[in-house]
A = this chain, B = another copy of it.
């Protein structure tokens, strides 16, 4: 008696959407033949009332055991993320409307909405009322300053100009390899550059990238490219930085650094070690920056 549900509703409520994209809606024998089902008795349909749902517990071995079952909207979110990752919708493009996605996934618009809400909160997509939902991109003023926290003490923030000192392929140092989750000795691209604001050298950076993902990255490509480096990575190499983790310390300038930043030896500098991640929390960049904080500061909001 407990399984008198409409098949469509059943599929929306119990189906694990992460398996097939166009799965037909038929009750799985697994859950149908399950003996001790949870107390999910669907009463009479109350005359065309709102949605009626069955249990979401997949395999009811015991009521206390809780296997890895996530809410529907989380599954939708994963599916959308997967499409973003695979490049089905490219940065800057519009993704299908909520109504269309709801139809595609056989769920209500509200469920799709909740999934997209979270993706929007994570800056993977950007919602624009009246227009649509768009894949986030680093080619926007909006997204620039998420990964650039060094602000001038006075005046508006403006982009620095880069001078590349070194761009080469090399074997990854052990520490870098560890952070990039690759084998020590695997090929990496190494970049060393100085950034200046209004002619004043301020940032000395060393960057390591996995050689497999960034094959073909040369000094020319970097010099030609206008705009943020992450924009280049996104457009030319199909790798989008999603989030990053930074460890900040204070350190004193040694002779080499002193010469490149035009400061005395021993000058106190901010040392920022960053590991950036793309989809699936995969690390794809290690960066060590030395910031001269004479006229700039690292801005951080605690909330």
- Could you tell me which A residues sit within 8 Å of B by CB distance? 121-123, 146-147, 149, 242-252, 266-270, 274, 291, 293, 297-303
Contact = CB atoms under 8 A, between A and B. Distances in A.
A203 to B, nearest CB: 13
A245 B297 contact: no
Contact of A270 (B242, B244, B249): B249
A299 B268 contact: no
Given A248-B248, A248-B270, A251-B268, A243 B301 contact: yes
B268 A252 contact: yes
Chain A interface, >50% SS class: strand
Given A252-B268, A266-B266, A123 B303 contact: yes
A300 B268 contact: no
A302 B245 contact: yes
Nearest to A47: B48
Given A147-B302, A302-B245, A270 B297 contact: no
Count of this chain's copies in the oligomeric assembly: 2
Contacts of A146: 302-303
Given A243-B301, A245-B300, A248-B248, 11 more contacts: A146-B302, A149-B302, A243-B303, A245-B299, A246-B299, A249-B293, A249-B298, A250-B250, A251-B268, A251-B293, A270-B270
A183 B251 CA distance: 37
B248 A298 contact: yes
Contacts of A248: 248, 270, 293, 297-300
Nearest to A150: B248
A270 B300 CA distance: 14
A272 B147 CA distance: 19
A147 to B, nearest CB: 6
The CB with the most chain B CB atoms within 10 A, among A244, A297, A300, is that of: A300
The CB with the most chain B CB atoms within 10 A, among A242, A244, A303, is that of: A303
Contacts of A274: 302
Contacts of A242: 303
Nearest to A269: B250
Contact of A249 (B244, B247, B249, B297): B297
Given A250-B293, A293-B250, A301 B245 contact: yes
